[in-house]
Amino acid sequence: MKVYHCSTHSYNVGDTIKKGKWGNFIKNKYSNEQQAWMEFYFESIRKTIVPIPTSRFDCVFAFDDINIAEGFTIGNDKKIYEIDLDENNTYSTHNYKVISLFVGLLKIPYSSSNFPMLFDNLNLIEKYWKGDETDYITFEDFDIGYQKEYLISTDVTVTKVY
Cis peptide before 53 (omega within 30 of 0): no
User: Does residue 54 carry a pLDDT above 70?
Assistant: yes
SS (H, E, C) the chain: CEEEEEECCCCCCCCEECCCHHHHHHHHHCCCCHHHHHHHHHHHHHCCCCCCCCCCCCCEEEECCHHHHHHCCCCCCCEEEEEECCCCCCEEEEEHHHHHHHHHHHHCCCCCCCCHHHHHCHHHHHHHHHCCCCCCECCCCCECCCCEEEEECCCEEEEEEC
Q: According to the model, what pLDDT value does residue 57 have?
A: 94
φ, ψ of residue 17 to 5 degrees: the values are -95, 120
User: Does residue 151 carry a pLDDT above 90?
Assistant: yes
Average pLDDT over residues 115-139: 75
Q: According to the model, what pLDDT value does residue 106 have?
A: 63
From residue 133, alpha-carbon distances to 78, 147, 149 in Å are 28, 9, 11
Global confidence as pTM: 0.84
Higher-scoring residue by pLDDT: 137, 95: 95
Q: According to the model, what pLDDT value does residue 140 have?
A: 65
Number of domains in the chain: 1
User: Does residue 53 carry a pLDDT above 70?
Assistant: yes
Average pLDDT, the chain: 85
Q: According to the model, what pLDDT value does residue 12 have?
A: 98
Average pLDDT over residues 8-26: 93
Residue 11's domain comprises 2-161
Q: According to the model, what pLDDT value does residue 65 have?
A: 96
Lowest mean pLDDT among 46-55, 71-80, 140-149, 150-159: 140-149
Q: According to the model, what pLDDT value does residue 112 have?
A: 46
Q: What is the pLDDT of residues 85-123, one digit of tens each?
A: 998 899 999 999 888 887 776 665 555 455 666 677 788
Q: According to the model, what pLDDT value does residue 124 have?
A: 83
Q: According to the model, what pLDDT value does residue 28 have?
A: 77
Residue 95, exposed/middle/buried by CB under 10 A (0-12, 13-18, 19+)?
buried
Bridge partners of 160, per DSSP, are 82
